[in-house]
């Protein structure tokens, strides 16, 4: 019995020593695994936030692409018009300062004459309206009497 007791005591102590040595080596590994789990959770949260922002950016890019697709024909038409204007300017001979001043004075004279013509046409329209009213009165008085 005493021998059995000694065996159990030695076996228990030996098991405790082995367990202690294993626990000393396993404990740092468990701590590292726990730390990695926390990091993984944090990384998942950050990745979710980035993916949400990325989806917003994708929507913005789609909108910008649609706007570019819509505006490109207008830009092309403007470029075509600019090129046409460049070609016209290349055909027109360069003018010196006196020629430009003379052209401006001619334009002003034409504008002045147009204004006079509009005044005259307005006067004629009023005169014709008065004549029409007089003719209508004359016709109504002759028809009534």
What confidence tens digit (pLDDT) does each residue in 51-60 have? 888 888 888 8
pLDDT in tens, 73-82: 888 888 888 8
pLDDT at 93: 65
* Structure token digits, residue 81: 């018009």
CA–CA separation, 57 and 41 (whole Å)? 24
- Across residues 124-134, what is the average pLDDT? 89
CA dihedral 130, 131, 135, 138 (to 10 degrees): 70
Residue 145 has pLDDT above 60, yes or no: no
Q: What is the mean pLDDT of the chain?
A: 85
Q: Which residues contact 95 (CB under 8 A, 6 or more apart)?
A: 103
CA–CA separation, 88 and 110 (whole Å)? 23
Per-domain residue ranges of the chain: 99-145
pLDDT in tens, 57-73: 888 889 999 898 888 98
Closest CA to 122 of 110, 130, 134: 130
pLDDT at 143: 65
Q: Residues 16, 24: contact at Cβ < 8 Å?
A: no
CA–CA separation, 27 and 31 (whole Å)? 6
Pinpoint the alpha helices (H) of the chain: 2-91, 97-144
pTM over 0.75: no
pLDDT in tens, 99-111: 888 888 998 999 9
């Amino acid at each position: 019995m005493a021998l059995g007791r000694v065996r159990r005591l030695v076996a228990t102590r030996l098991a405790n020593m082995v367990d202690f040595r294993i626990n000393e080596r396993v404990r740092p590994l468990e701590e590292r695994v726990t730390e990695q789990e926390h990091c993984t959770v944090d990384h998942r949260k950050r990745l979710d936030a980035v993916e949400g922002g990325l989806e917003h950016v994708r929507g913005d890019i789609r909108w910008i692409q649609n706007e570019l697709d819509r505006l490109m024909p207008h830009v092309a038409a403007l470029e075509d018009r600019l090129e046409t204007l460049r070609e016209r300017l290349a055909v027109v001979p360069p003018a010196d300062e006196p020629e430009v001043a003379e052209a401006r004075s001619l334009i002003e004279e034409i504008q002045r004459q147009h204004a006079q013509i509009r005044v005259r046409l307005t006067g004629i329209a009023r005169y014709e309206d008065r004549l029409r009213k007089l003719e209508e009165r004359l016709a109504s008085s002759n028809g009534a009497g």
